Amino acid sequence: MIVLPYLAHAPEIGTQVRGHVSSAVIGRTALGSGCSLGELALLRADGEEVRIGPDCWFGEASTVHIADRVYPAIVGSHVTVGRYGLVHACTVGDDCVIGEHAAVMDGSVLGAGTVIAAESIVSPGKTLAGGWLYAGVPARPVERVSADLLDSLHRAIRGGPGAQAPLVLAAARVPRLRYTPGTGVNQRFAQGAYVAPTASVVGRVVLGACSSVWFGVEIDAGEASVEIGERANVQDNSRLYAGKAGEDIRIGPRVLIGHNVRIFASTIEQDAIIGMGAVIGKGTVVRAGSCVAAGAITEPGTEVASGQVWSGRPARAARALSERNRADFAHAIEIYVAYAGHYLSGGAEARRKGGSVLA
């Protein structure tokens, strides 16, 4: 797997850790013994610490990240995170199961033995009692979880024999990557643009100055084109798929696209925010300064009004974007510009750890 020190911080990795060649462990990460990282799994501690206990399992394109200088990500022992799952700047107790395509967001706390159903979202700042199954957007308690059921859910995600658990397996799974991680990352882009080594960038893709494309991201322009404006960022394990000629993706300046997002042919205007785990349907127009909330799904042809937060499945207008939201999002843009500068200047350098390093 890829190991990247960040600035003065190098990961600490326990014994008998198994990592796919495209998985990555970065910065202030302490990874316990006996853990397993699937293809493109990412533990990223470049702005705060990530602490992970022993015997944890991270599925394909799962992501653990932090809130820069605000919240670490702390994961207990024997935790299972399903394919395309997201653990972001939160605390996850021992023996928890996070289903495929689910997200646990900033400042939230999961008690021991908590189960988050597939495609569910734990809202920021929530504390969930252990021993329960939570489902929905936002996630709400559904039923208590017996020890036998908890064990079967761990095995279902980890690939145990005979285990079947639709509660934690997504009904409509994100397809596997179209290209090998690392494809196209050495193209010449605008000054200050950063493309992470496990991203893939294919076709006519234009990156503006100081923009960034992060770990595990796949951008496929198809027969069309993808344009990403200056200081915009596309965060880890997101997927951008344009289509036939004229089915372009246009992303304006200072746009923030969260982790594990999927975007199809659409237009996202300047200063807009696409929340973690959202899906932007074909033909969507996200107007300037608006926000598509975490886990929301826009129907084809949706127009998200300027200055509004849209949420739900399908996404609908929920409220006006607050001034605090605007300030927080603008600050996040600057954080990612700074991250990109550090990576480009050699503040994060790959070394070998039990496998090849992509370059």
Residue that has been written with the tokens 């699937």 in this structure: 38
Task: Please determine, for residue 359, whether its predicted confidence score (pLDDT) is greater than 50.
Answer: no
> Which pLDDT score is estimated for 177?
87
Contact criterion met (CB below 8 Å) for 114 and 94: no
pTM listed for this prediction:
0.92
CATH superfamily of 2-158: Hexapeptide repeat proteins (2.160.10.10)
Residues 142-159 have a mean pLDDT of 93
For the stretch 329-358, pLDDT in tens is 999 999 999 999 999 987 555 443 433 333
Listed residue (82, 104, 83, 102) closest to 93, CA to CA: 104
Mean per-residue pLDDT over the chain, rounded:
93
What is the fold, at CATH topology level, of the domain defined by 194-321? Answer: UDP N-Acetylglucosamine Acyltransferase; domain 1 (2.160.10)
Topology match between the domains 2-158 and 194-321: yes
For the stretch 230-276, pLDDT in tens is 999 999 999 999 999 999 999 999 999 999 999 999 999 999 999 99
Task: Please determine, for residue 150, whether its predicted confidence score (pLDDT) is greater than 90.
Answer: yes
186: pLDDT confidence band, cut at 50, 70 and 90? confident
- Give the residue extent of every domain in the chain: 2-158, 194-321
Task: Please determine, for residue 59, whether its predicted confidence score (pLDDT) is greater than 80.
Answer: yes
> Which pLDDT score is estimated for 175?
80
Chain centroid to CA 325: 20
Q: How far apart are CA 97 and CA 59, in angstroms?
A: 12
> Which pLDDT score is estimated for 263?
98
10 Å CB burial of residue 331 (0-12, 13-18, 19+) is exposed
